[in-house]
Structure 1
Amino acid sequence: MKVGLYMLFYVFAILVMVMDQLSKYLIRTYIDINETFTLWGIQLTHIENSGMAGGLFQGNARLFGVVAVLFVIGVYYFRRTGEMKGALINSSLGFLVGGAIGNGIDRLLFGQVTDFIIRSGGILNLADHAIEMGVLLLLIYGFVSWLKSKS
């Protein structure tokens, strides 16, 4: 495996985790809970979520933190098998792991996740968006792999 492609995973994972934690720190430090404001045309509201997406299963943040740790361990194990290679899968897994670590840190340290980006369907954070990006890239990787197997 080419080192550059292999490192893409770590670059995305670390970048997502750092940006997520920095943004959450700034929100927790400077914005009161339930305070709404606009930044660069984006409406933001500071909430703390002790559950999972959509506020489901409130009070179980630490359990979901453990699930995030197990997910990250699973991805590292999966990557060691080396069956899936390339920039797309490394990018996908980097986004997924970075997002899982970002939200996992909140869940394990604080017992809740800081959310602030208002979007139809809820209030999210950068880690949530990274996870969505990782899933999208994983779907694209699967589709491209399927197309290649048909030719």
Structure 2
Amino acid sequence: MIFYLVAAIVLAADQLSKWWVRSHLEMGVASTVWGGLVHVLRLENTGATGNTFAGYGRWFVPIAILILAVVLYYRSKGKLRGAWMEVGTGLFVGGALGNAVDRAVFNAVTDFIKASKGHDAIMNIADIGLNAGVIVILLSTLFFRRKRAEAAQTAE
């Protein structure tokens, strides 16, 4: 249940934030929100990270669907167990679906969160979900692998 909740929250937050950005910011215009805490700059990315593969963004929609299918398959087989794995895969799938919706509907992903002053990275909520999901999945895998190894040594 955690997986579905996290994925739905990431997808909804991503799509709502992108709707707000498309409705209130002109393309290429920088601004700040939340009292200057967050710097925003609306860009449309027709490719992948850093606009690599520009113009081929829709090719990534089937990849997002494949990611969802693989995660659902492994979940059904009991391979992705534990609260942290649920959170990590939920973040990752929610992010993948958020960007896939943009690519399918607009043929471009709306990016708007400027990482920090002095950096060129522009991202969105889906990108944050994807990155956070990968980190949580890796940490969960490493932590529980180590925990299982320690339990096996203790059992010997």
- TM-score, normalised on structure 1? 0.93
Which structure has the greater CA radius of gyration? Answer: 2
State the identity as a percent. Answer: 36
CA RMSD of aligned residues (A): 0.9
In the TM superposition, structure 1's runs of 4+ consecutive aligned residues that sit over 4 Å from their partners are none
Match for residue 92 of structure 1?
88
2-side partners of 1:9 and 1:38: how far apart?
32
Match for residue 58 of structure 1?
54
Match for residue 3 of structure 1?
none
Structure 2 runs not aligned, ≥5 long: 151-156
Deviation at 1:83, TM superposition (A): 2.1
1:24 and 2:18 equivalent? yes
2-side partners of 1:132 and 1:106: how far apart?
18
Match for residue 146 of structure 1?
145
Other structure's SS at 1:137 match: helix
Other structure's SS at 2:21 match: helix
- TM-score, normalised on structure 2? 0.90
Q: 2:43 aligns with which of 47, 71, 83?
A: 47
1:13 and 2:12 equivalent? no
Deviations 1:34-62 (A, max 9, x none): 01001122110000000001111100111
Q: 1:104 aligns with which of 100, 108, 111?
A: 100
Structure 1 runs not aligned, ≥5 long: 1-6
Other structure's SS at 1:134 match: helix
Give the paired residue count. 145
The AA in structure 1 aligned to 2:91 is: F
Other structure's SS at 2:18 match: helix
